[in-house]
Amino acid sequence: MITVEVYFKEAEHALDGLFKSLEYYCGLAKKAVEPIIISDRPIEHLNQDLSRREEIYKSMKMYQSHQFSMHFVSGSILQFVSKAIDLYSDQKEMNFDKSALFSKFNDNKKLLLSKYSVGRIVKGIPIGLVILAGRSQYNHIEEGGKLRTYNQIIFNLLCEEELGNDTYRDPCFDLSNNLYCYSSNIIAFLGWERYEIFKKDMSDIFGITLS
């Protein structure tokens, strides 16, 4: 089997292309939500404001037309990293804050979950588990929110936010919303807006240097 360094090196061109596509789609999304303030402005600026509104509307329509492509690109990135963890992770235990949530599973599932218990901690779990859940949902989009129990637990952790005495459910990760695909939301949650940020996480997970 090839080394993890070769695994990433051989895929460098493809990964760079995926992240360039992702940056393009994210750019459209940002343009689509830019605010326009037309009150309390001189009348000579009104046409400029209206023209800007048309530009934002076009960006919104373009972003909406590319949403499936964005899901596809995001899912491909998750698939690539998930396979890397499957092949090269030698993590054999779960020792993070929320690990008790996964204690009821049989030994085979615990072994799988341990393998993915790598990377920085977000919301009490390693990002490897977030990658696992995101990849699983992407590969089974026809099943909606009907994922394996451990993936449902992961999504629930991402979904729940405590606000004072109340618990808020983030619709970006709420499986009961039956979104078609959550992969781009997972990528955004991980903060992988650019290839350089992604490479930093990969270096930390696999203990390698990526150029």
Per-residue confidence (pLDDT) for residue 40, from 0 to 100 = 52
- CB of 201 closer than 8 Å to CB of 192: yes
Residue 70 scores a pLDDT above 60: yes
Per-residue confidence (pLDDT) for residue 36, from 0 to 100 = 45
Digit-coded pLDDT (tens) for 148-192: 999 999 999 999 988 778 888 898 999 988 777 899 999 999 999
- pLDDT averaged over every residue in the chain: 85
Digit-coded pLDDT (tens) for 92-137: 999 998 999 999 999 999 999 999 999 999 999 999 999 999 999 9
Per-residue confidence (pLDDT) for residue 179, from 0 to 100 = 77
DSSP, collapsed to helix, strand or coil, labels residue 74 as helix
Query: DSSP strand E in the chain: where?
Result: 121-122, 125-126, 160-163, 166-169
> Residue 153 carries which side chain, given as an amino acid letter?
I
Chain center to CA of 183: 5
Question: Which DSSP string corresponds to 119-172?
Answer: S-EETTEEHHHHHHHHHHHHHTGGGTT---HHHHHHHHHHHEEEETTEEEE-TT
Confidence of residue 54 (pLDDT cuts 50, 70, 90): low
CA distance 58 to 66: 12
- Written as six digits, the tokens of 19 are 């992240």
59 versus 76: the higher-pLDDT residue is 76
DSSP, collapsed to helix, strand or coil, labels residue 34 as coil
Judged on CB neighbours under 10 Å (0-12, 13-18, 19+), 156 is middle
Per-residue confidence (pLDDT) for residue 51, from 0 to 100 = 56
The full length of the chain comes to: 211
